[in-house]
Amino acid sequence: MQLGKLRLSGFKSFVEPATLSIEPGLTGVVGPNGCGKSNLLEAIRWVMGENSPKSMRSGGMEDVIFAGTATRPPRDFAEVVLSGTRSDGDELEVMRRIERGAGSAYRLNGRDVRAKDVALIFADAATGAHSPALVSQGKIAQVIAAKPTERRQMLEEAAGIAGLHVRRRDAEAKLRQTEANLARLEDLMAGLD
């Protein structure tokens, strides 16, 4: 998937609406300390479905909402929109919005979707919140120190098969449910004899 534009509003230090173009190839973000470089990468991860406050350097998910400064009041919501082109040429626009006290919601090309739908789209496209394509500070050292199972997970993300594991878990749960239904049906039928 080729990522296109990233739009942020009220997300961490990006209080005013801001738009960034992500050009083909390698993109690096440079700037003085504290200017928001990591916040940008976190915005990409967040819109792709990241739900761990720790990996967003937050105490809770609402901490991604602009918290205010000495001169500006806090915001009530944060919104990130990521657009891109899939390998089949289809355009895609994913939006995630969080409101204080109301949790977060996703939209895919303008339609309400579940967090899981968004995660699967990015996993199938070999990208996503944990994609090795998003290289944050300390990531290289983390790759070097990773355990073999963690390295395997990174390779699976890069190969685009991470989504298959999610589908397998879903299919196994459905199979177990169907087997339980079948056993119950057999009990009922035995009772009719």
Q: Give binding residues for ATP as ranges.
A: 32-39
Q: Is residue 10 at the binding interface for ligand ATP, with CB under 6 A as the rule? A: no
Q: Is residue 136 at the binding interface for ligand ATP, with CB under 6 A as the rule? A: no
Binding track over 11-30 against ligand ATP, x by CB under 6 A: -xx-----------------
Report the first-to-last Cα separation within the chain, whole angstroms: 58
Among 24, 25, 34, 101, binds ligand ATP (CB under 6 A): 34
CB of 63 to ligand ATP, least distance (A): 6
Strand partners, 45: none
Q: Is residue 31 at the binding interface for ligand ATP, with CB under 6 A as the rule? A: yes
103 is written with which tokens?
A: 């949790």
Among 4, 18, 22, 38, binds ligand ATP (CB under 6 A): 38
Q: Is residue 99 at the binding interface for ligand ATP, with CB under 6 A as the rule? A: no
84 is written with which tokens?
A: 């891109």
Closer residue to ligand ATP, CB minimum distance, 12 or 97: 12
Specify the residue for token string 């990174």: 154
Among 18, 37, 135, 158, binds ligand ATP (CB under 6 A): 37
In terms of C-beta distances under 8 Å and separation of at least 24 residues, what long-range contacts does 118-121 make, across chains too? Answer: 118/48, 118/49, 118/94, 119/48, 119/49, 119/163, 119/166, 120/163, 120/166, 120/167, 121/92, 121/94
Which element (helix H / strand E) includes 104?
Answer: strand 103-108
Among 39, 104, 127, 131, binds ligand ATP (CB under 6 A): 39
* Residues in 41-70 at the binding interface with ligand ATP, rule: CB under 6 A: 63, 65-67
Helices (H), the chain: 37-47, 115-124, 139-145, 148-159, 162-192
CB of 73 to ligand ATP, least distance (A): 11
Distance CA 66, CA 74 (A): 6
Q: Is residue 33 at the binding interface for ligand ATP, with CB under 6 A as the rule? A: yes
Secondary structure (3-state) at 110: coil
CB of 39 to ligand ATP, least distance (A): 4
Which residues bind to ligand ATP, rule: CB under 6 A?
12-13, 31, 33-39, 63, 65-67, 137
